[in-house]
A = this chain, B = another copy of it.
Amino acid sequence: MDASATAAKPFDFAPLLPADLPAPAAKWNGFPKYNFVGGHNDAAQVPVDELVAAATAVLKREGRTLATYGLESGPLGYRRLREFLVEKLKRDAGISCTADEILITSGSLQGIELVNGLLLSRGDTVLVEQVTYFGSLNRLARLGVKAIGVPLDHEGLRLDALSAALDDLQASGIRPKYIYTIPTVQNPTGAIMGEERRLGLLRLAEAHNVPIFEDDCYADLIWDGKRPPAIYALSRSRNVIHIGSFSKSIAPALRVGYVVADWSVLSRMLPLKTDAGTGALEQMVLAEYCAPHFAAHIPELTRALRAKLETMMEALAEQFGTAAEFDDPKGGIFLWVKLPGVVDTQKLAQAALAAGVAINPGFEWSPDKPYGKSRMRLCFGHPSHAEIREGIAVLADVCRREFGVPSRIANVERPTAGRPVSDSQDGQRRL
């Protein structure tokens, strides 16, 4: 008692905090045992030896330039990385741009924030996909921007639904600030929008004088390596801002992404990037690594990811039977799963986490919360094949206990559920 009486009274920060501060973070206690959330990648595919060689070469050659903010490349980012991107974007996405039309960002998350900072004010409206990246929805909510979800099909954004939404807004005198789309391996559905759909989307956007915000951060992870041109590449009116990332193609802990836009747009965005530059060592190592190795690395990575996806689909079929419906995505690191309507995936996620299994409940991934209620996103990039099998078994067990589905667990009086057919003709499969 005496000791505490003489100790200084602890300062109370609470009365100083803004009213809208998010809830406190919990202490981090390591990853869950079965981790099916987050854009983590396959650890075995991190090209460690080549990254060592790249770091050694680029540091020996240019390490002294670390003494200046922005190296000797200025605020758009390390020039050799932008030059690599000029070639990569031309080859893979059909984009013709110069190094001065690329802004290197601290992850594509910063790209999202810069686009939002450029275009959005509180009270604005944007159009998004009916289910879409949680982090984008979150940011829009924090900014006080209304996100209207547009229904999807197996090719992504449905143009009839988009047209109706644009007409509705126009009738209400509202000009949406952008149409946000993840057209190439949609998050979470994995859909890839075909070229015709992209052209139709551009026609609609141009007719309504609305720009398109194209998020291509998963676009490198396609099983057959084939993708349509970026919407950015197809636009003749230059009404598209394009973002991408190295997080999914090389390693998520490297925080390097990029924005592609006309200089007239980038020059307005650049003053909002007040971080004194994106980490230069990561940019340098990526440029040095990617120029010779990127094109060969991607098929190795996607082969490993595809194999994990197969394991996950098999495990779901085995453990959930017909209770789990999903398409067979053409790329990516996640599976979007529909469970029976009786399942509330928000509650499932809580119960599963207590059993060591982390999943993304669907409501987080949708501006239309009820739509996401019985859906979940399962990421398969990081866990091992064994962890995928075990984790899905635990998840099924928890789901059965909490919601009564699936009605039987694996190998115990389970209705026959065929082995997933991964080569079905239309690239989709419902189980």
Contact = CB atoms under 8 A, between A and B. Distances in A.
Interface string A174-192: 0101000000000000000
A281 interface: yes
A264 B382 CA distance: 32
Interface in A14-55: 16-19, 21-28, 30-31, 38-46, 48, 51-52, 55
Nearest to A120: B18
A100 interface: yes
Contact of A282 (B16, B237, B281): B281
A38 B31 CA distance: 40
Contacts of A265: 13
A42 B59 CA distance: 16
Interface residues of A, number: 99
Q: State the copy count for this chain.
A: 2
Given A25-B267, A27-B100, A107-B276, A67 B51 contact: no
Interface string A193-214: 0000000000000100101000
A299 interface: no
Given A109-B274, A271-B25, A67 B43 contact: yes
B253 A13 contact: no
Contacts of A9: 237
A275 B253 contact: no
Given A22-B271, A55-B59, A59-B48, A280 B263 contact: no
Select the residue from A119, A235, A276 with max chain B CB neighbours within 10 A.
A276
Interface stretch (A70-78, A342-350, A359-367, A391-399): A70-78
Contact of A59 (B16, B51, B68, B110): B51
Nearest to A274: B109
A17 B279 contact: no
A75 to B, nearest CB: 6
A252 interface: yes
A10 interface: yes
Nearest to A69: B252
A255 B270 contact: no
Contact of A68 (B63, B66, B76, B253): B253
A68 B43 contact: yes
A61 B24 CA distance: 33
Contact of A106 (B38, B40, B106, B239): B106
A9 B74 CA distance: 31
Contact of A255 (B74, B113, B278): B278
Given A52-B63, A69-B40, A255 B271 contact: no
A30 B71 CA distance: 10
A67 B252 contact: yes
A17 B119 contact: yes
A285 interface: yes
Select the residue from A24, A60, A70, A239 with max chain B CB neighbours within 10 A.
A24
Contacts of A280: 251, 253-255
Given A8-B236, A22-B272, A66-B252, 19 more contacts: A8-B206, A11-B206, A11-B237, A16-B119, A16-B211, A18-B121, A24-B267, A25-B270, A43-B64, A45-B67, A52-B63, A55-B56, A66-B254, A67-B251, A67-B382, A109-B276, A110-B275, A254-B279, A278-B279
27 contacts: A11-B206, A11-B211, A13-B264, A16-B177, A17-B119, A24-B270, A24-B271, A27-B263, A44-B64, A46-B64, A48-B63, A51-B59, A52-B63, A55-B55, A55-B59, A56-B56, A66-B252, A66-B253, A66-B254, A69-B253, A70-B253, A110-B275, A253-B281, A254-B279, A255-B276, A256-B279, A282-B282
Interface of A: 7-11, 13, 16-19, 21-28, 30-31, 38-46, 48, 51-52, 55-56, 59-60, 63-72, 74-76, 100, 106-107, 109-110, 113, 118-121, 135, 139, 175, 177, 206, 209, 211, 235-239, 247, 251-256, 263-268, 270-272, 274-282, 285, 381-382
